Structures are given as C-alpha cells and as structure tokens.
Amino acid sequence: MSGLYIHIPFCRQKCRYCDFVSFAGAEGLTDDYLSALEKEASFCPSFAADTLYIGGGTPSLLSAAQLEKLCGLIARRFAPLGTFQESTLEANPESLTKEKLRLLKDAGLNRLSLGLQSFDDGVLKRIGRVHDVKTFLSAYGAAREARFDNINVDLIAGLPGQTKEMFLQGLKKLADLKPEHISVYGLQVEEGTPFYKEGVQADEDLLRMELEETHRLLQAAGYVHYEISNFALPGRESRHNLNYWQNGEYLGLGSAAASYLNGVRRSNVPDVREYLRRIAAGENPAEFAEKLTGKAKEGEAVMLGLRMLGGVRLSDAQKRFFSGEIRDLVRRGLVEQNGDFIKLTFEGIFLANQAFMAFVGPFEEACR
C-alpha cells in the first residue's frame, strides 16, 4: 500500500486551536501554488499510489475552477481520482458548495472529510470556526445528495465552554446522522496558537471522561474503534491513514508536506512563498530529511503500529530492542502482550503518549 498526500495550506480564517501549517488571507497565491504543485510532481520519480488525500488548510476553499485544475494535475501526473482505492478531500462546511460537490464526484473523488468540531454554535464561535451547525447540516445533506457514501466528520473533545453534556449531546446527534467515519480528537493547546497565548488549558479530567464516553457511545452505535482517535462503520476505516500507521510509503506534495520513500523521511519548507520560490527556481523544496536505522527505526514502526487498537506484531528485531520497555509497559497497565502481538489496553488508549515514549529516542544504548 502507498499513498499520495497533497497539502492545500489556505484557510478563510485560522482557528484558535490550530497549529497546522495553514494561512488565512493568502488565497491570492492559489493559482501559482497549483502550478507549483504540478511542477513539484514533475520533479518526482514515477510513483504509483493506492490512496489519495488532499488535506490542509481548507482544500474546499478553492474555487470550482481551481478544484478542477487540481484534479487535472493529479490525473496527468499520477492517475485519475476514480482509479485510487480511496481518494479523500478535507472540507469545511461553509465552503463546500453543490457545484464543487458535483465536480468532485464527477472527477472520481470517493471520500469527504468534514470539519464540524462541535455541535454547538457558541463553542464554534469561541474556537474561531466560520460555520455554524445549520451550515454543517446543509453541507452534509448536500454531500449525500451528491451521492457521497463515504464521509468522515471531525469532532474535538475538551473545548473551552463545552460541558460534558454538551459534547455528548452533539456526539449523539452526529452518530444519528451515520457518517461512515468519525474522528474525535482531544484538545491540545500548542505553543504559538491563539489559545496558548490566551492561557487556555485543557481540562484533562473532563477530556478523559468525554473520550471514555465517546468510546462507549460510538461502539454502541455500531462503530469500530480502530485507532486512538478514529471510529468507523465496519469496512470504512481510512485506508490512507492505515498506510501511515502501518509504516507504508507515501509521497507528499506542497508546502510542509511530508514523504516517506525508500526509508527516507522528508518534509517540505512550510512557508508558502518560500515553497513557491524554490519550485520556480527548480530547487529542492525539502527542508528536512532523515533515514532512521536500528533501534530508532524499529521503535518508530512499533509506535505507529500501536496507534491501531488491534495492535502490532513485533519483529524479532523489535523484541530484541524493546523487551525491557514492553515488560515495563505491561507492568504499568498501558500495554498487553499476547505472543508476538502487543496492543494498548483500555487505559493505554487514553495515556498513549506515555506508552509511545518508550519507543522514541534518545535511547540509553546506541542505535544499531
């Protein structure tokens, strides 16, 4: 399995919690950016991808004509959208029009990911979202009318001004809509975001209660909790993201896009204008590259695999490198082991970062 990721870094407004590489008010660069994407693709060696993910930013902010241009360059440089096993576009409700939905469906796109974040208008305003609940419901209905039968919806737990009761009420409303996939992320206040500057802090106890209830409610509604933050109706797991967690190869195009090819991880320069300058000059847009070896490489593979609730099968090298760490995690109740398989316990799901630390360097002994 291999994936193609294309980053669209433009947003109408920057959300107050967001630390992703995205820029508000820079939409005037979009046409130049799309041309740069195609030129970057021409620099790359031939790459056959099974899945496609167009993320951001807000890809749905592009006009219909710009989306058509994007679909065209993907078809020319890689394959038509309809030939990918899974092709996803991230969208915000306020910018997803019926015209864009028809265009994307006709181009072969088969999956949408909608950013709802909360089912409460007051909370949406507090966190800097442009849409309201009515706009989301309208966009979701339009996507169904356009015959999209594979939709993900994002929610955030632990948002300021959102009680447990408000969150669970919204989660139940969302489950009643029966999207094929639901992603529920716990609020993380990252340095540099407006929330960080305002001194907003996540209520860890409230967050834990909301995430535990999410697990129970969505499983009762027929969803499979297959990854720490992700729930899917049977057979509707995100193939693109599964490739990441299974340590598969992927090619990333655009500012800040990451790739993993031939054992090398690299990421492009995040600044859009610098990305455009480098591409125009025929320069490498990557600002970082590394090739992990030995214990560091094996640890990364275990950490990624542990994100899946089904767990990961340990190789002989991984057992040799991490036998002590795994025994300690089992003792602490974060991981359970059955032969060559390890997986997070129920407690470990909510304390996953503590478990992951065991597989991330620097290690006491040198990497071999």
Q: Which pLDDT does position 82 carry in this prediction?
A: 95
Q: Which pLDDT does position 80 carry in this prediction?
A: 96
Residue 197 tokens, joined: 């500057």
Q: Residue 367: is its pLDDT beyond 50?
A: no
Instruction: Please name the residue that has the structure tokens 């990918």.
Output: 84
- CA gap 42, 33 in Å, rounded: 14
- CA gap 198, 203 in Å, rounded: 15
- Tens of pLDDT, residue by residue over 188-226, are 888 989 898 999 998 899 999 999 999 999 999 999 999
Q: Which pLDDT does position 19 carry in this prediction?
A: 83
- According to DSSP, residue 130 is labeled S
Q: Which pLDDT does position 364 carry in this prediction?
A: 61
- Tens of pLDDT, residue by residue over 247-284, are 999 999 999 999 999 999 999 999 999 999 999 999 99
131 phi/psi in degrees, rounded to 5: -90, 165
55 neighbors 8 (Cβ within 8 angstroms): yes
179 neighbors 223 (Cβ within 8 angstroms): no
**In a 10 Å sphere around its CB, with 0-12 CB exposed, 13-18 middle and 19+ buried, how is residue 33 labelled?**
buried
- CA gap 306, 268 in Å, rounded: 27
